[in-house]
Chain A
Amino acid sequence: MNKINSIRKDWSLIETLIAEDRKILDIGCGDGGLMEQLENNRNAITHGIELNRDLAANAIARGFNVVHGNAELDLSQYSNNSFDYVILSQTLQAMMKPKDILSELLRIGSKAIVSFPNFGHWKIRLQLLISGKMPVTESLPYTWYDTPNIHFFTIKDFLNLCNEMNIVIEKSIGLTSKGKQFDISESVTGVNFFTHEAIFLLSYKNFEPIKIKSSKKVFTKNSVIAN
């Protein structure tokens, strides 16, 4: 089969994070574009969830396993560790409970891939600083009163949350607004300033040993994760 080219820049980066022959769940899969790319180029087995009825219908008609539904309500139906990768591309900021979604991603999948627009980008900071109004940019093109994006966060915020949830960042890719790509973890200074869009490969892989704080040595069932 011929390799197909990505329609979106972040899709080709997501593809680089995924090994061959894996089972993948794409949340917010649209009409199956990324699924098609990963089936073709990575020989993946793909499943998808899509909230928009017409997009879901298109994806099904194109032969993909797609469930028309709402990820915030429907993720609980999937069993633990039933996928190798769960992908959430450009939608975390539109979720009601982003933290719950993050933990669901890593319950269902061995690894999660999350991409989002960085609210800490210098253009956004400058807009708010100078105009005093909520920023409107190419990646966040909506006015504050009419936007699907209800939780704005920066790379720093995301890293803090991952740290709090004991999520390990295996790889992180940043994209500048000009499409220049770099490794977020290596370029320390100014990352949160210049990253326009960020893509993370996450896992729970590197558990820290359980720290026993109390002398009573009480273990909770999920002590490794809850800690």
Chain B
Amino acid sequence: MKTKFTADTKLESEIAYFENINLKLESGDIIDSFKLAFKTYGKLNADKTNAILVCHALTGDQYVAGNNPITGREGWWSRMVGPNKPIDTKKFFVICSNVLGGCAGSTGPKELQNGSDVAYGGNFPSITIKDMVKAQSLLIESLNIEKLFSVIGGSMGAMQALQWAIDFPDRILNIIHIAGALKHSAQNIAFHEVGRQAIMSDPIWKNGKYFENNEVPERGLSVARMIAHITYLSENAMHRKFGRKLQSRDIISFGFDADFQVESYLRYQGKSFVERFDANSYLYLTRAMDYFDHDETFRKNIEFSHNPNNHLKYLIVSFTSDWLFPTIESKIIVNQLNSLSREVSFLEIDTDKGHDSFLLEEPQLDDVIKGFLTNNFEKIDE
């Protein structure tokens, strides 16, 4: 396999081109060529033993730390990844790539179809978590890294980490799985479906061909984001943050303005999301999460894998107030691994910040990630 690498100055990212590779997707479709936008932090050591792949969540991107040129803000996990941070880039070589189907430079519905000047839009093939991981594995291979020390992710990133453990256990040493599950639950699919319907009901969406008129289905996409954002918080956190406080007024308006701070906040979340995310990508990636299901197969896959996976270490973390991926879902994974006598650690962190906790200030999360990585890295060094 020969991969071409270029640096994209506008995206401040590396781009890896996989040409004529005929990537076979889980759906049966084939993508003949694709590209992945990625960023790296820190230095790969001489033995290539210190590489960590960070997998981003649904609306994340490769900008895990440092500056994000698309938003002009700091990377989405800059509190976790960097020099002397829990995932210490003085010690580890951190790789983060935009997923297949994403919209931050990797091949996805926003990008031009191979050999044409038209974007994929709705012609993009259906993508699954397994496909994303397959694409990532090709990237890691082309970076000449035989074994990743760790694969780390929260939410959709946790799904990818789990998929790595299933598909490529011989190419990793441990995974850190945060706020995830073996499957996307009926309730989670339901919320995603409402979001997708919001996008597809926007007259500007036009079966995914909105880009032909240089338009964006802003209303649909922002409503989708507003709904999703509620699921990332918790009732207590919302109450603590907003209560029934009014926005820029002393009395209610008896109208449908954003009277309440919580309304104003959600509108802002929706509006700013539209500026950075592609509506079609949102459809494809939510679908990929919906299709994720290892409920029946995970235990068998781990027990009877043709790739040795006995050596794998698992750190599973959940949050008390996460109702999107509740603790019970993490415990199912832990139970199955324990029943197979695998090396698993599990912690439920007490917080009211909901599903989004993994992106926020949670000192205990920092401590366990840092300690787990540092101690296990020392063990391979011995």
A positions within 8 Å CB-CB of B: 23, 47, 53-54, 56-58, 60-69, 74, 77-79, 82-83
Are B368 and A77 neighbours in the complex by a CB distance under 8 Å?
A: no
B positions within 8 Å CB-CB of A: 313, 315, 331, 334-336, 338-341, 343-350, 364, 367-368, 370-372, 374-376, 378-379
CA distance A47 to B337 in the complex (A): 12
Are A60 and B368 neighbours in the complex by a CB distance under 8 Å?
A: yes
Tell me which residues across on chain A come within 8 A of B350, comparing CB atoms. 53
| CB<8 Å pairs between A and B, sample of 17 | A47-B338, A53-B349, A53-B364, A56-B347, A57-B347, A57-B368, A60-B347, A61-B367, A61-B370, A63-B371, A63-B379, A67-B334, A69-B334, A69-B346, A74-B335, A77-B339, A79-B341
Inter-chain pairs besides A57-B347, A67-B338, 13 sampled, C-beta below 8 Å: A58-B367, A60-B368, A60-B371, A61-B367, A61-B372, A61-B375, A62-B371, A63-B372, A63-B375, A68-B347, A78-B341, A79-B340, A82-B341
CA distance A83 to B334 in the complex (A): 17
CA distance A11 to B371 in the complex (A): 24
CA distance A190 to B130 in the complex (A): 66
Closest chain A residue to B378 by CB distance?
A63
Are A79 and B371 neighbours in the complex by a CB distance under 8 Å?
A: no
Interface secondary structure of B, over-half rule? helix
Give chain B nearest CB distance to A59 CB in angstroms: 8
CA distance A117 to B370 in the complex (A): 37
Give chain A nearest CB distance to B316 CB in angstroms: 9
Known pairs A47-B343, A65-B313, A68-B347; A57 contacts B367 (CB<8 A) = yes
The 8 closest A-B pairs by CB, nearest first: A63-B375, A61-B371, A77-B335, A67-B346, A60-B345, A82-B341, A77-B338, A68-B347
CA distance A61 to B176 in the complex (A): 13
CA distance A56 to B345 in the complex (A): 9
Tell me which residues across on chain B come within 8 A of A57, comparing CB atoms. 347, 349, 364, 367-368
Closest chain A residue to B331 by CB distance?
A69
CA distance A47 to B350 in the complex (A): 23
Tell me which residues across on chain A come within 8 A of B344, comparing CB atoms. 65, 67
CA distance A58 to B347 in the complex (A): 10
Known pairs A53-B350, A77-B335; A65 contacts B343 (CB<8 A) = yes
Are B343 and A79 neighbours in the complex by a CB distance under 8 Å?
A: no
Are A66 and B371 neighbours in the complex by a CB distance under 8 Å?
A: no
CA distance A57 to B345 in the complex (A): 9
Tell me which residues across on chain A come within 8 A of B340, comparing CB atoms. 79
CA distance A187 to B378 in the complex (A): 47
Are B371 and A68 neighbours in the complex by a CB distance under 8 Å?
A: no
Tell me which residues across on chain A come within 8 A of B371, comparing CB atoms. 60-63
Are B338 and A78 neighbours in the complex by a CB distance under 8 Å?
A: yes
CA distance A67 to B335 in the complex (A): 10
Are A61 and B348 neighbours in the complex by a CB distance under 8 Å?
A: no
CA distance A35 to B341 in the complex (A): 17
Closest chain A residue to B371 by CB distance?
A61
Known pairs A53-B347, A53-B348, A57-B347; A63 contacts B376 (CB<8 A) = yes
Closest chain A residue to B367 by CB distance?
A61
Tell me which residues across on chain A come within 8 A of B376, comparing CB atoms. 63
Are A68 and B346 neighbours in the complex by a CB distance under 8 Å?
A: yes
Tell me which residues across on chain A come within 8 A of B313, comparing CB atoms. 65
CA distance A198 to B364 in the complex (A): 36
Tell me which residues across on chain A come within 8 A of B347, comparing CB atoms. 53, 56-57, 60, 68
Tell me which residues across on chain B come within 8 A of A47, comparing CB atoms. 338, 343
Give chain B nearest CB distance to A47 CB in angstroms: 7
CA distance A64 to B371 in the complex (A): 10
Give chain A nearest CB distance to B319 CB in angstroms: 12
Closest chain A residue to B332 by CB distance?
A77
CA distance A64 to B313 in the complex (A): 10
Tell me which residues across on chain B come within 8 A of A68, comparing CB atoms. 346-348
Tell me which residues across on chain A come within 8 A of B345, comparing CB atoms. 60, 64-67
Tell me which residues across on chain A come within 8 A of B372, comparing CB atoms. 60-61, 63
CA distance A65 to B343 in the complex (A): 6
CA distance A65 to B376 in the complex (A): 11
Q: Identify which of A54, A58, A69, A78 contacts B339 (C-beta below 8 A).
A: A78
Tell me which residues across on chain B come within 8 A of A74, comparing CB atoms. 335
**Quick one: which of B315, B334, B376, B378 has the most chain A CB within 10 A?**
B334
**Quick one: which of B334, B347, B350, B372 has the most chain A CB within 10 A?**
B347
Tell me which residues across on chain B come within 8 A of A64, comparing CB atoms. 345
Closest chain B residue to A82 by CB distance?
B341
Give chain A nearest CB distance to B339 CB in angstroms: 5
Tell me which residues across on chain B come within 8 A of A63, comparing CB atoms. 371-372, 374-376, 378-379
Tell me which residues across on chain B come within 8 A of A67, comparing CB atoms. 334, 338, 344-346
Known pairs A53-B350, A67-B346, A68-B346; A60 contacts B338 (CB<8 A) = no
CA distance A78 to B342 in the complex (A): 10
Closest chain A residue to B342 by CB distance?
A65
Tell me which residues across on chain A come within 8 A of B378, comparing CB atoms. 63
Tell me which residues across on chain A come within 8 A of B315, comparing CB atoms. 60
Give chain A nearest CB distance to B15 CB in angstroms: 37
Closest chain B residue to A78 by CB distance?
B338
Closest chain B residue to A54 by CB distance?
B364
CA distance A82 to B378 in the complex (A): 27
